[in-house]
């Protein structure tokens, strides 16, 4: 019987890649990189063989979608930030059986979900950035779930999360479940970016305060209250991908019955106007 043994909310900002390159960002994101590596070390210690990543950089408009290919390999250049991520090599094994099972379980629960086995369907950087650093500590198979959901509601994503758990428990896999996305996500306006040292600052003090409040709630285990405000938080603080990754995460963990105290493994930091962190959600 399979099991989700570890879960996390993780940052995927391009400056993590830039932090290992020459330039003004060099070294500045080392705490976030260290957080990725720490989560991977814990996954290795728990016997994880597959990471399921709910990726807020994979935008979809009809149905839910899973990249369940057997093998992912190529060079990635971000079409959003080609100056930040370019020619990034990657090579990971997939877990097509688990990806197919998640799609089938979600569809059986009434949420139309498709799994795809296409070499031309690339991974997005919400998957590639965390894997860049986690793979240094532990080799895991990858299943990527689209979580930038433009015409979907959080209740549907909750069901997808339930389906992830059901499919994992019916498999023989030990899984790390990752919600890959930011907290608040109001990127600086283009005209204001340089004047505000945008790479290293938050665009809204209101958003920063809300992010810190949410982290406090997570650390206290007050998830039931957080879920009551998830929709407004995602809307008013411009949650990345409308925070469908987070709804999927909670769906897999038991939604408002989940009450574990989270652990912040990377101190909150601003990036290009947004709020970022790495947080471990203990699995009950």
* Element of type H or E holding 145: strand 141-149
Q: Please give the CATH number for the structural domain made up of 3-281.
A: 3.40.830.10
- Rounded Cα distance, 14 and 33, in Å: 11
Encode 102-141 in three state secondary structure.
HHHHHHHCCCCEEEECCCCCCCCHHHHHHHHHHCCCCCCE
List the chain domain ranges.
3-281
Q: Are 266 and 191 in contact, with CB atoms under 8 Å apart?
A: no
The interaxial angle of helices 244-253 and 154-169, nearest 10 deg, is: 50
Split at pLDDT 50, 70, 90, the class of 230 is very high
Contact 210, 233 (CB under 8 A): yes
Q: Could you report how far apart the first and last alpha carbons of the chain are, in Å?
A: 16
**Cβ-Cβ contacts under 8 Å for 245 (sequence gap 6 or more):** 9, 54, 55, 56, 126, 147, 179, 180, 181
Residue by residue, DSSP assigns 162-177 as HHHHHHHHTSS-EEEE
Per-residue confidence at 240, pLDDT binned at 50, 70, 90?
Answer: very high
The answer to whether residues 38 and 265 touch, using CB atoms and an 8 Å cutoff, is yes
For residues 126 and 181, what is the distance between their CA atoms, to the nearest angstrom?
Answer: 7
For residue 23, what pLDDT band results from cuts at 50, 70 and 90? very high
User: Tell me: the pLDDT tens digits for 101-150?
Assistant: 999 999 999 999 999 999 999 999 999 999 999 999 999 999 999 999 99
Q: Which residues contact 84 (CB under 8 A, 6 or more apart)?
A: 14, 15, 17, 18, 78
- Burial profile 121-138: b = 16 or more Cβ within 10 angstroms, e = fewer: ebbbbbbbbbbbbbbebb
Task: Give CA–CA dist 154/250, Å, rounded.
Answer: 10
pLDDT 10s digits, 218-228: 999 999 999 99
**Helix, strand, coil shares, percent, the chain, to 5:** 40, 25, 35
Model pLDDT for residues 146-205, shown as the tens digit of each residue: 999 999 999 999 999 999 999 999 999 999 999 999 999 999 999 988 888 889 999 999
Whose CA is closest to 122, among 141, 140, 93, 144? 144
Quote the pLDDT of residue 194. Answer: 83
- The pLDDT score that the predictor gives to residue 260 is 98
**Residues ≥6 apart with Cβ < 8 Å to 147:** 54, 55, 56, 58, 126, 157, 179, 180, 181, 241, 244, 245, 248
* SS3 of 13-48: CCHHHHCCCCCCCCCCCHHHHHHHHHHHHHHHHCCC
Among the listed residues 56, 218, 25, the one whose alpha carbon sits nearest the alpha carbon of residue 129: 56
Model-wide pTM > 0.85: yes
How large is the average pLDDT for residues 31-38?
98
Any residues with CB less than 8 A from the CB of 236 and at least 6 apart, and which?
210
Tokens 């428990």 identify what position?
169
Give pLDDT tens digits for 202-212: 999 999 999 99
Tokens representing 41 are 């070390």
């Amino acid at each position: 019987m399979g099991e989700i043994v570890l879960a996390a909310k993780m940052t995927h900002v391009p400056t993590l890649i830039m932090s290992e390159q020459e330039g003004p960002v060099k070294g500045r994101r080392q705490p976030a990189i260290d957080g990725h590596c720490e989560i991977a070390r814990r996954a290795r210690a728990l016997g994880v063989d597959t990471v399921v990543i709910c990726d807020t950089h994979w935008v979809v408009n009809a149905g839910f979608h899973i990249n369940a290919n057997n093998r992912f390999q190529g060079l990635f250049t971000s079409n959003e930030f080609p100056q930040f991520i370019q020619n990034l090599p990657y090579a990971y094994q997939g877990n097509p059986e688990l990806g197919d099972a998640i799609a089938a379980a979600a569809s059986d629960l009434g949420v139309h979900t498709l799994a795809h086995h296409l070499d031309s369907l690339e991974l997005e950087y919400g998957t590639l950035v965390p894997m860049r650093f986690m793979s240094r500590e532990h080799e895991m198979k990858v299943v990527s779930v689209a979580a930038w959901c433009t015409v979907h509601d959080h209740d549907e994503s909750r069901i997808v999360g339930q389906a992830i758990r059901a499919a994992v428990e019916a498999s023989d896999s030990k899984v790390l479940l990752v919600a890959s996305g930011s907290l608040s996500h109001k990127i600086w306006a283009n005209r204001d970016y340089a004047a505000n040292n945008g790479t290293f600052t938050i665009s809204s003090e209101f958003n920063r305060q809300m992010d810190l409040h949410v982290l406090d709630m997570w650390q206290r285990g007050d998830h039931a209250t957080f879920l009551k405000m998830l929709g407004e938080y995602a809307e008013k603080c411009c949650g990345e991908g409308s925070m469908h990754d987070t709804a999927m995460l909670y769906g897999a963990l038991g939604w408002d019955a989940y009450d574990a105290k989270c652990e912040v493994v990377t101190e909150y930091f601003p990036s290009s106007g947004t709020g970022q962190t790495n947080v471990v959600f203990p699995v009950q």
